[in-house]
Structure 1
Amino acid sequence: MIGATTDRELHEECGVFGVFGVPGAAELTYYGLHALQHRGQEGCGIVSVNDAGALRRIKGEGLVTEVFNEANLRTLEGSMAVGHVRYSTSGGGGIENVQPFLFRHFTGDFALAHNGNLVNSHLLRRWLEDKGSLFQSSSDSEVLAHLIKKETRNHTQPRIYAIVEALNMIEGAFAFLIMTANRIYAARDKYGLRPLSIGRLGDGFVVSSETCALDAVGAEFLRDVEPGEIATLDGKGIRSTDYSMYKRHAICAMEYIYFARPDSDIERCNVHAFRKRSGRLLWQESPADADVVVGVPDSSLSAAMGFAEASGIPYEMGLIKNRYIGRTFIQPSQAMREKGVRMKLSAVGSLVRGRRVALVDDSIVRGTTSQRIVRLLREAGATEVHVRIASPPITHPCFYGVDTSTYDELLC
């Protein structure tokens, strides 16, 4: 993150991806994770199941292209795999928190990948530790695995019973993938806060946090996993189990506003179309007397296009994003931190010089980045800069996976 000590931005959620019944599942998972890279850049991993039912894992800190290569992907054999890209919102960083987690148990090994945040994880963790559980990470995601295996009365029953009981003990936002030697369980929280979609590929299935990853591997979208549902993917096809009677569709608004890729469909609504419509409504609610409309790359561009179309003001690419800044960019001095926004964004002087600019951004957290972008445009020659935000004010902390957990982190 640029200027982490002096700035604050929203960060993407984690992303999960799974393949069942398709040869070369790990390679497909690699491409799926690459399509979900925007949801997490701190670490990634893949667990595969070979024909003998053995689970093997490769994970590491860094981008998908940094962790995986042709040689190590060849070692992940089989037609089943689950993968994960991580941005830490709970538990912090470190290789021990990179998922998928792999658990060995006498009833059968299994892997687990999670997108979201469990708000009662600390209470459950203490309860489990009091009962003898030993945790290998500080991630809240590991809690579910211990809950699944802790109650011995379910060991003689199909695993779905233990999963249902475990999911009813946790509270929060989540999309879970649980893979055994024979099947993948895809579960979504009862509020539907985190997205999860299922596609068909050949004779098998693909499950992903976003539909853009289904498109990346050539899968056909079938349906979303419903809130409060466990979708079981195995040789019998797709079977559905409702683990909660209290279910509602309350998808996180930030998926549409910021997190998801514009080519994804979230609950059958295209993200680009949603953002563009937001830009049109923004013009109706707060017009600007300007010569050009400029969006902040990348998640604000769709809204800026909608604002321009509704207003009749020309849309210009007045800000250019440097895509090669790298996730490990460091700023050892205050002077370099102040230059951070220039390393990330540059203004196109010939397009904004002498003009009144309507600057459209998707959201505002602390406002420091917006101030720097306005200053950047003014220094490039813009005579006026009118800031317009395409989402409602963020007025309250979020405890469900977005990294704004205190009021001090918010402008409003």
Structure 2
Amino acid sequence: MKKEYCGLFGIYNHPEAARMTYFGLYAQQHRGQESAGIVTWDGSKLREQKGMGLVADVFNESHLSEQLKGNIAIGHVRYSTTGASLLRNAQPFMVRFGDTMIAIAHNGNLVNAHELRVELEHGGAIFQTTMDSEVIVHLIARNMNVDGDCIEDAVAKACRRVKGAFSLLIQANEKLIAVRDPHGIRPLALGRVGDSYVLASETCAFDLLEADCLRSIRPGEMLILDGEGQRSKLYAEPNGRKQCIFELIYFARPDSDVFGQNVYGCRKAMGMALANEAPVDADFVMPFPDSGNYAAVGYAQASGLPYEQCMIRNHYVGRTFIQPSQDMRDFSTRVKLNPVRSMVKDKRLLVVEDSIVRGTTIRTRVKKLRELGAREIHMRVACPSIKFPCFYGIDFSSKGELIAANHAVEDIARYIGLDSLHYLSIPGLLSSVEGPDNFCLACFDGDYPIPPCEGAGKMCLE
């Protein structure tokens, strides 16, 4: 299965900044369940609380009402794309440089972090984590130390040195700075609630807080919020939008607008395109929840086939549970999804999935449907076949782990146990989104907008 990467939230000028950030992170919990953190500015210093696990487990009432005081805050939920799963790698990452306290929250992945880290270490820098995000902090500090730059200029210089995908929230004393990479690979939106500005990876966070979405942070833009109000400047010229299309295929919540587009509508359109490309004479359409739900709705509507929810998801499964004995095979898969037996027997099933990365989880689910008596099982996948690794923050960084990179479609169908398999074509995918030229398709076609450097996808201490 794919693993989410990170979610950001920031708020400026709100009396309950920590509480608002808590709910902003809660709304984006799907973007990372490994760790969570909040940093606030109380007027004289930065305060922080971080921990491993879900937002609701990391923070309690005393954190929000007593410890995390202040009217400015940034928060982060994480799944590691670089850096080990350790508390020291949880974000926001905080340092002190002279009279300035700096905290940074990063969504994305840098392709030149390894070479920059080596350069910085040779210059005497001492790293505390294995995160690529810490490279940015060291660059900022060096710019302030050597060149005497103000924080805005130091951030701009640092962001011009790094390459890759990055949406950043940086807290520097009373300033809140938002930055997006010149390609706009990762999303970041600006909103407003009352007299307060809010920033988030997804607009679903704004909805929970009843905030109005103003706009997306532009590629190559730096937005500064401080006592002078809201200021914006380009730290780098936009280099052609290459937004991560997996936000619309899989990562983002369907009730979010990402890159100015409604996620639900895009996924439904992908399903409709699938139905036009690869019709099947089946009894009904069904998804593997939750990722395939919305494409399956589109497929059913376009094909005229009934839509059935034949796989029931257990919504109360957390990241950890008591492990079963060895003879309870595939338990982790079965505890999450269970078929409706009476709906499956002797039926011709058309299963819609959002994507196939490794194929192992889907194989287990298809095997279960066969055991329950399904007569035919056809699968339609709402994105093209993933043949190339991603270096920008999605957790498939090795070509060897991608089933479509090494096997023909017919062989994949046979391995999974399907009667037929069809992936949505690249033209079909692009017909489902607005601005098709604005998306990165590297995991499908190998055309990387930012060529990976030597050592991309790893850090020195991993």
Return the TM-score normalized by structure 1. Answer: 0.95
Number of the residue aligned with 1:73: 64
Out of 363, 368, 378, which is 2:360 matched to? 368
| Residues 219 and 238, structure 2, Cα contact 8 Å, conserved in 1 | no
Say which SS state the counterpart of residue 104 (structure 1) adopts: strand
| Residues 61 and 67, structure 1, Cα contact 8 Å, conserved in 2 | yes
Out of 226, 237, 243, which is 2:218 matched to? 226
Number of the residue aligned with 1:129: 121
Number of the residue aligned with 1:6: none
- Distance in 2, matches of 1:236 and 1:297, equals 47
Matched letter for residue 245 of structure 2:
A
- Distance in 1, matches of 2:311 and 2:261, equals 28
- Distance in 1, matches of 2:9 and 2:371, equals 44
Q: What are the superposed Cα offsets for residues 69-96 of structure 1, whole Å, 9 maximum, x if unpaired?
A: 1112111111100000010010111000
- Distance in 1, matches of 2:37 and 2:204, equals 19
Matching of residues 80-91 of structure 1 within 5 Å: 80-91=72-83
| Residues 6 and 31, structure 2, Cα contact 8 Å, conserved in 1 | yes
Matching of residues 6-405 of structure 1 within 5 Å: 9-50=1-42, 52-74=43-65, 75-152=67-144, 156-329=148-321, 331=323, 334-405=326-397
Report the more deviating stretch, 367-376 or 395-404: 367-376
Matched letter for residue 176 of structure 2:
I
Pairwise CA distance, 1:352? 2.3
Q: Note the residue ranges of structure 1 that are not aligned, 5 or more in a row.
A: 1-8
Matched letter for residue 359 of structure 2:
G
Closer, same or farther: CA 141–337 of 1 in aligned 2, 3 Å: farther
Q: What are the superposed Cα offsets for residues 266-316 of structure 1, whole Å, 9 maximum, x if unpaired?
A: 111100100000000000001111111111111210000000000111101
Closer, same or farther: CA 152–222 of 1 in aligned 2, 3 Å: closer
- Distance in 2, matches of 1:380 and 1:18, equals 48
Say which SS state the counterpart of residue 60 (structure 1) adopts: strand
Closer, same or farther: CA 246–223 of 1 in aligned 2, 3 Å: closer
Say which SS state the counterpart of residue 17 (structure 1) adopts: strand
Pairwise CA distance, 1:224? 0.2
- Distance in 2, matches of 1:151 and 1:187, equals 17
RMSD of equivalent CA atoms: 1.4
Q: In percent, how many aligned pairs have the same letter? A: 49
Q: What are the superposed Cα offsets for residues 107-144 of structure 1, whole Å, 9 maximum, x if unpaired?
A: 41011000111111111111111111111111111110
Closer, same or farther: CA 40–170 of 1 in aligned 2, 3 Å: same
| Residues 154 and 162, structure 1, Cα contact 8 Å, conserved in 2 | no
Say which SS state the counterpart of residue 20 (structure 2) adopts: helix
What count of residue pairs does the alignment treat as equivalent?
A: 403
| Residues 175 and 188, structure 1, Cα contact 8 Å, conserved in 2 | yes
Closer, same or farther: CA 264–77 of 1 in aligned 2, 3 Å: same
| Residues 212 and 261, structure 1, Cα contact 8 Å, conserved in 2 | yes
Say which SS state the counterpart of residue 364 (structure 1) adopts: coil
Closer, same or farther: CA 152–66 of 1 in aligned 2, 3 Å: closer
| Residues 143 and 158, structure 2, Cα contact 8 Å, conserved in 1 | no
- Distance in 2, matches of 1:41 and 1:219, equals 24
- Distance in 1, matches of 2:5 and 2:329, equals 25
| Residues 214 and 221, structure 1, Cα contact 8 Å, conserved in 2 | yes
- Distance in 2, matches of 1:152 and 1:259, equals 36
| Residues 96 and 137, structure 1, Cα contact 8 Å, conserved in 2 | yes
Pairwise CA distance, 1:46? 0.2
Q: What are the superposed Cα offsets for residues 355-376 of structure 1, whole Å, 9 maximum, x if unpaired?
A: 2110000000111122111112
- Distance in 2, matches of 1:274 and 1:171, equals 29
- Distance in 2, matches of 1:235 and 1:299, equals 43
Matched letter for residue 182 of structure 2:
K
| Residues 107 and 155, structure 1, Cα contact 8 Å, conserved in 2 | no
Say which SS state the counterpart of residue 151 (structure 1) adopts: helix
Closer, same or farther: CA 330–287 of 1 in aligned 2, 3 Å: farther
- Distance in 2, matches of 1:260 and 1:375, equals 29
Pairwise CA distance, 1:235? 3.1
Matched letter for residue 70 of structure 1:
E
Matched letter for residue 48 of structure 2:
R
Closer, same or farther: CA 391–18 of 1 in aligned 2, 3 Å: same
| Residues 35 and 212, structure 1, Cα contact 8 Å, conserved in 2 | yes
- Distance in 2, matches of 1:354 and 1:344, equals 24
- Distance in 2, matches of 1:237 and 1:90, equals 35
Say which SS state the counterpart of residue 81 (structure 1) adopts: strand
Q: Note the residue ranges of structure 2 that are not aligned, 5 or more in a row.
A: 405-462
- Distance in 2, matches of 1:201 and 1:155, equals 37
| Residues 11 and 402, structure 1, Cα contact 8 Å, conserved in 2 | yes
Closer, same or farther: CA 25–399 of 1 in aligned 2, 3 Å: same
Return the TM-score normalized by structure 2. Answer: 0.85
Pairwise CA distance, 1:331? 4.5
